[in-house]
Chains A and B, each alone.
Chain A
Amino acid sequence: VDERARAIEAVYRERYSRFRDVLVSLTGSREVGSDAVQETFAQALRDRQSFRGEGSLEAWIWRIAVRTAGKQRAERGSYEFSSNGAVAPSPAWSDLDPELAEAVRSLAPRQRLMVFLHYFADLSYADVANVCSVSEGTVAATLSQARDALLNTLKAKEFQP
């Protein structure tokens, strides 16, 4: 096995839970999300020679993961734009903190993606920027907006009778 395949395997073994949590959250299905993780790493293995070292290997795999999740979503029915309104998928941990899950679901898709990548995948601003093909400044601004939106939603819930 070449070094790059080994490195991909290392990312898989060390970060599997992160990938699964995020992809389950992005696809709204445990089954689809888990399948997307396997598919992500299979594609990373197939395309490993095209990794040019611009940014971290993990960020490169996350790019594939986000793309794969989008593809799976498209193939298995869109959750974002269902016929009865824009409904985001439930995060993988909805049952653990339903309040926060609901707040995250109310975010704009890009804000939600960056929240997942930064807070769950543990990616730095630079890596999130790499995954989303935007600048670090955009990541910082988007996350700041997302945090404000989340806090406003959570605060509003607090004062609800």
Chain B
Amino acid sequence: MTSQFNRSDLERRFRALRSDNTRELDWGDVRRRAGEPTPHRPLHLRWGFAVGLALLLGSGFGFVLGSSNTPSGSAARGGELGFLPARGWNVLQEATTTTAKRPVRQAIASNVPLRPEDDADGLPYSTLSSLPRHGVVLVAKFTPIRGERDSKGNMPLRLRDAAPQVEPSAQVRPARPLGQYTLRADLNGYAVDVGLYFGTRRPAPEVTTAAQQQLDRLVVGSVRASNPVEDRALPIRPAGAPQTPAGARATSRIIDRTFRCTPVAVGDGLHDLEVIALPLGSHEFQNPNPSPGFLSLGSGGLSPTSELVSVRAAAWERFRNRRVLEGVYVSGGRCVSTRASVRLSATGLAGPPVQWSENKSCPVRGRVLVRVRAVLQAPARWQQLDRTYVGARRSVVEAALAIKSERKPIAFVELGPAGKTRLWTASGCS
């Protein structure tokens, strides 16, 4: 017997022994043991609750129960959260509290009857596991935003902006995969997180449009009139395809993301910003280890945690005894993903570009926008890489960083496939 044969034989034998008994599942017991608050069920009155909410909100919308299929787009009073049921839809919503300090509310809308064992708290697994092809379930979660944060979304939310969930581990029904999507926005003081579940990975346009109609009836303080519903619903991205750069979690060979980063303040309203380009084989200061091809936007000196955004073509020991692996790195603490537009070009910057090892200091006032585009050698997942950085860990073939303040370009730097770099900076950099 060859070793390979033995191995697969063993694997088959092991696999045959796996059981699939889920009868003992008892999530309620887990929650109780964990000391989690038990969700309070709304008196068996799902419809009653929905109707009550419809009446309550309807009074603000200027319609009553009988006309709850009123086309979306009316104005609403501030403060309400939840779904108004579109015709043929069921709604279940309830306030839950994860911790005393952080109240979270959740609402569920479905175009199929919700299974009685599903609560308004958590995912309606029973309904999802038996969701027919035409079925749609929307799960909206509202988390109050603490402190000041920019509003990053517009109502009504658009299905065509939804990001498909492609991670196999996130699939609720692996045997017959659902079309799973997420939509996130900060609206009227709430972080709104909507999970969309279709009975099939490729929902029909009419199903998607119906889902948009229900999504239009999501209330987060206010609803605005808008263009025809199809414009917001279609085309929906195919489930299983890579997501948009912002919020993407799928594996992808091309990283193209934009961040709003807060550099370290150095006094007088100024923030420290350093743009570094190190072509393949060049040395940084006294570092005996040659660069593998490195681009960085740093702030707050030279330390393992001072990079806001960086790209390493390959693994490299930039700091003594700290071999950092290849990939795209973004500081999770200082940078947040944004949909702001940043041109990936040197337009507006002084030329010609510096093509050797260079470190430019560009003090700025306030935050900066950074767009990073990188072509990886193989697909990699965007994820938390260590305590400081999120990113994608894979060898980088080529990359570019564009940095700008809210108004002006600050720098543009490229790393080519041969490891060469080109750096353009604004005239204020030295």
Contact B24 A1 (CB under 8 A): no
B132-181: which have CB < 8 Å to A? 141, 143, 169-170, 172, 174
The 7 closest A-B pairs by CB, nearest first: A53-B384, A42-B33, A45-B34, A119-B14, A42-B34, A93-B17, A41-B30
Contact A38 B26 (CB under 8 A): yes
Q: State the interface size on chain A (CB cutoff 8 A).
A: 42
Contact B169 A58 (CB under 8 A): yes
**B6, B13, B15, B27: the one within 8 Å of A13 (CB):** B27
A1-28: which have CB < 8 Å to B? 1-3, 5-7, 9-14, 16-18, 20-21
B242-266: which have CB < 8 Å to A? none
Quick check: is A34 within 8 A (CB to CB) of the other chain? yes
Q: Which chain B residues lie closer than 8 Å to A131 at the CB level?
A: none
Q: What's the dominant secondary structure at chain B's contact region?
A: mixed
Q: Which chain B residues lie closer than 8 Å to A76 at the CB level?
A: none
Contact A13 B125 (CB under 8 A): yes
Contact B170 A45 (CB under 8 A): no
Quick check: is B22 within 8 A (CB to CB) of the other chain? yes
Contact A3 B19 (CB under 8 A): no
How far, in angstroms, from A151 to B386 measured CA to CA in the complex?
A: 39
Quick check: is B228 within 8 A (CB to CB) of the other chain? no
Q: Chain A nearest CB: distance from B60 CB in Å?
A: 28
Quick check: is A75 within 8 A (CB to CB) of the other chain? no
B81-138: which have CB < 8 Å to A? 96, 98, 102, 104, 106, 121-123, 125
**A16, A38, A147: the one within 8 Å of B29 (CB):** A38
**B25, B27, B169, B386: the one within 8 Å of A54 (CB):** B386
Closest residue of chain A to B14 (Cβ to Cβ) is A119
16 example contacts (A-B, Cβ-Cβ < 8 A) are as follows A1-B96, A1-B104, A1-B121, A1-B122, A6-B122, A13-B25, A17-B19, A20-B24, A21-B18, A38-B29, A42-B31, A46-B35, A53-B384, A96-B17, A119-B15, A120-B14
Quick check: is A56 within 8 A (CB to CB) of the other chain? yes
| Contacts known (A54-B386, A151-B10); A16 close to B25, Cβ less than 8 A | yes
Contact A147 B18 (CB under 8 A): no
Q: Which chain B residues lie closer than 8 Å to A119 at the CB level?
A: 10-11, 14-15
B24-70: which have CB < 8 Å to A? 24-27, 29-36
**B96, B98, B387: the one within 8 Å of A52 (CB):** B387
- Extra pairs beyond A17-B19, A119-B10, A151-B6 (16, CB < 8 Å): A1-B121, A2-B104, A6-B122, A9-B123, A10-B172, A14-B169, A16-B24, A39-B33, A41-B30, A43-B34, A56-B169, A58-B169, A100-B13, A100-B17, A115-B14, A119-B11
Q: Chain A nearest CB: distance from B32 CB in Å?
A: 8
Quick check: is B7 within 8 A (CB to CB) of the other chain? yes
Quick check: is B341 within 8 A (CB to CB) of the other chain? no
Q: Chain B nearest CB: distance from A18 CB in Å?
A: 7
Closest residue of chain B to A56 (Cβ to Cβ) is B169
How far, in angstroms, from A58 to B219 measured CA to CA in the complex?
A: 34
How far, in angstroms, from A14 to B14 measured CA to CA in the complex?
A: 19
B367-399: which have CB < 8 Å to A? 383-384, 386-387
Contact B34 A3 (CB under 8 A): no
**A43, A45, A97, A115: the one within 8 Å of B36 (CB):** A45
Contact A12 B17 (CB under 8 A): no
User: Per-position contact with B for A64-89: 1 when CB-CB < 8 Å, else 0?
Assistant: 00000000000000000000000000
Q: Chain B nearest CB: distance from A28 CB in Å?
A: 16
Quick check: is B317 within 8 A (CB to CB) of the other chain? no
How far, in angstroms, from A123 to B32 measured CA to CA in the complex?
A: 28
Q: Which chain A residues lie closer than 8 Å to B98 at the CB level?
A: 1-2, 5
How far, in angstroms, from A17 to B25 measured CA to CA in the complex?
A: 9
Q: Which chain B residues lie closer than 8 Å to A58 at the CB level?
A: 169
A42, A56, A92, A97 interface centre (most CB from chain B within 10 Å)? A42
